[in-house]
Structure 1
């Protein structure tokens, strides 16, 4: 029997925008997914001692190209983080057909996420912080919320705004918070997502943990040896059913769960207590049962600890593990943007009846019967997707995204049988 879905308004996704190593918009990303083409390789625009030895999921446009595309050539103080955010945000709000008035309405909120923020300019930050410069144009751009402030200013956003940093679960948490704002009636429309760019700050930090791979990552392979850092900007427009009206609707945000196992600063607990709790809560709040999940877009970083713990957690929840894969094998780990990136990939899966495979799998993980999808699945029924994002410090977030059902299908869910209009009106 289905459990009761969380009370409140229905939350629809009416616009999406994305730039990653796979492409400069949603369409280009989708083409790369169905062709099995990853965007991981040697970095060209990012300068580091490690660009010759490590692989990265780098966006293919330079800062100058991004500025030209966005008509920001004459603007100062825009870091790469800000530029990626504006690019993805603009695509999302344009896709949703939002007017200037709607963007600046007090009923429209903005919740963004980043882990790196303006610290992508690590060397310049060092110079400015230690007064070894005369003060660069980026003095106000180093904070985690700098890109959010740029969006607020550029798009004249007047409603509630916030910036979340919970490491790798950051933008998944923006989606959860945005949905809760709409369900509780505190906002009618929330633009959610996140952005991160490659930075010496994060590359050096992850390298110190010895979890970066020289080669394109291979999540859920027995011989996986680490992750690839990537960069991306990804945003979704969430709207309540009442204002979505006859708009194109991509999917519905059905459920979400967040937990924290408080086990270790950078590793997940072996018993997957946090991951299990977030997944179980997300499924229960969606009002469905585990057997209804058609696909899991895993956190799947390619590190020995994460993949083992996540797969253990999945095996504890599902009697029969549904198809699963890691799309980080295409983009690398985009940190604070990854939850929103993978939510968009999950939506593409739902909309196009496709499941995108994990790449680079050679040997299945020992000790588990469940194996990741390794070939594109087309023309398959994908009604519910579970998307996982697990962050440092044990902050685990899971989302359930679903296909938007017709009115009669919703009544069947509610009543348990087909009904006519008179019965529907009586109910």
Structure 2
């Protein structure tokens, strides 16, 4: 089976509008968790968010989409990150339109970021807005297909917070099985009343910047982002620069609760073990773990239990959600990009706001930047509602 190489990356998040800005924020420990400026909600006065520092109008201008109707914020964020990734990889139009190129994207909110407009259109309180075709989960994928004339296989995945990790896994499997030579993978989610109200009802939103793996953690911050990776078969890479290799992946279902993980971490342990085994390495060869690390009492306790069950000595670990907030369907691809930055920069970024280890573990995350460290293999975890657990192993090229 062919090796799967990463030849392009693109991202927009609360800590930057491109790769270089995101890296600069990670390197200098600058969080993007702030009061929201563009998102409108009853909760913006009381809750912090990981909001992209750019309005919809600014995004349209940057992308030259002022005269193109029906682009929700979800679509705009997707185009921004997607375009950076394909330019970074040097893909031309012929390659984008080739039937050997696939597109696998992911989202949970999709066009429902326009919650009020959706309500008005659905209840015939409007004359029919430009967004009638934009409310479904796959609307952003269809916009990408149309704009970039993609003709190969395409799909949109919604498995909650593991969505874009599963997009990466499916893309790698398509290449390994010979069904595609090149797959552009990733995900996007924007802030929406739909998700904010839902997470608030679950009582897991913090009124402060989240502090993953801290004994006093009290919840997560929601964020928005988009991130895409260009995956290519080793046979077609040629002389291109290669950022990393998708070495392994695992997926399992905790099958315990709609919005909580089981105390024995069945799904988490199984998917981590499967990812490491499929990479053909030992747990001791993992250099660093980018955890799911939401900052909620349940998740962090269970994930740490899973890590202690799998590793004799837990590698350095962090939660980059302390920078971006929890970006839901985009989280897996955002954190895959951050994992790649750790590999190529030989750095492990700190978990922010950490003060006190969780009782009974006393295994703190990385809390200060580690430089000049060889990062050969990264385990990146994404655990979704409904128990859908996915882990990726990314390796140095």
After TM superposition, the score normalised by the length of structure 1 is 0.93
In structure 2, the residue matched to 1:290 is 283
Report the Cα offset of residue 331 of structure 1. Answer: 0.2
CA offsets, 1:108-163, max 9 Å, x none?
00000000000000000001111111111000000000000000000000000000
Q: How does 1:266-281 map to 2 (within 5 A)?
A: 266-281=259-274
Secondary structure, aligned partner of 1:288:
coil
2:163 pairs with 1:163: no
Q: How does 1:119-198 map to 2 (within 5 A)?
A: 119-198=112-191
Report the Cα offset of residue 369 of structure 1. Answer: 3.3
Q: How does 1:310-321 map to 2 (within 5 A)?
A: 310-321=303-314
C-alpha separation between the residues in 1 aligned to 2:286 and 2:54? 36
Report the Cα offset of residue 262 of structure 1. Answer: 1.1
2:236 pairs with 1:243: yes
In structure 2, the residue matched to 1:381 is 374
C-alpha separation between the residues in 1 aligned to 2:371 and 2:122? 52
In structure 1, the residue matched to 2:352 is 359
Instruction: Name which of 62, 80, 99 aligns with 2:92.
Output: 99
C-alpha separation between the residues in 2 aligned to 1:344 and 1:208? 31
CA offsets, 1:160-194, max 9 Å, x none?
00000000000000000000000000000000000
Secondary structure, aligned partner of 2:246:
strand
C-alpha separation between the residues in 2 aligned to 1:381 and 1:357? 16
C-alpha separation between the residues in 1 aligned to 2:304 and 2:118? 39
2:297 pairs with 1:300: no
Structure 1 segments unaligned to the other structure (5+ residues): 1-7, 405-427
CA offsets, 1:275-329, max 9 Å, x none?
0000000000000000000000000000000000000000000000000000000
Pick the structure with greater CA Rg. Answer: 1
In structure 1, the residue matched to 2:63 is 70
C-alpha separation between the residues in 1 aligned to 2:82 and 2:195? 23
Instruction: Name which of 234, 254, 259 aligns with 1:261.
Output: 254
2:223 pairs with 1:230: yes
C-alpha separation between the residues in 2 aligned to 1:177 and 1:233? 18
Secondary structure, aligned partner of 2:294:
coil
C-alpha separation between the residues in 2 aligned to 1:375 and 1:181? 38
After TM superposition, the score normalised by the length of structure 2 is 1.00
C-alpha separation between the residues in 1 aligned to 2:363 and 2:373? 19
Q: Which runs of 4+ in 1 moved over 3 A?
A: none
2:5 pairs with 1:12: yes
2:214 pairs with 1:218: no
2:315 pairs with 1:322: yes
CA offsets, 1:20-49, max 9 Å, x none?
000000100000000000000100000000
Instruction: Name which of 54, 62, 78 aligns with 1:61.
Output: 54
> RMSD of the alignment, in Å?
0.4
Secondary structure, aligned partner of 2:32:
coil
C-alpha separation between the residues in 1 aligned to 2:143 and 2:378? 32
- Matched pairs, number: 397
In structure 2, the residue matched to 1:114 is 107
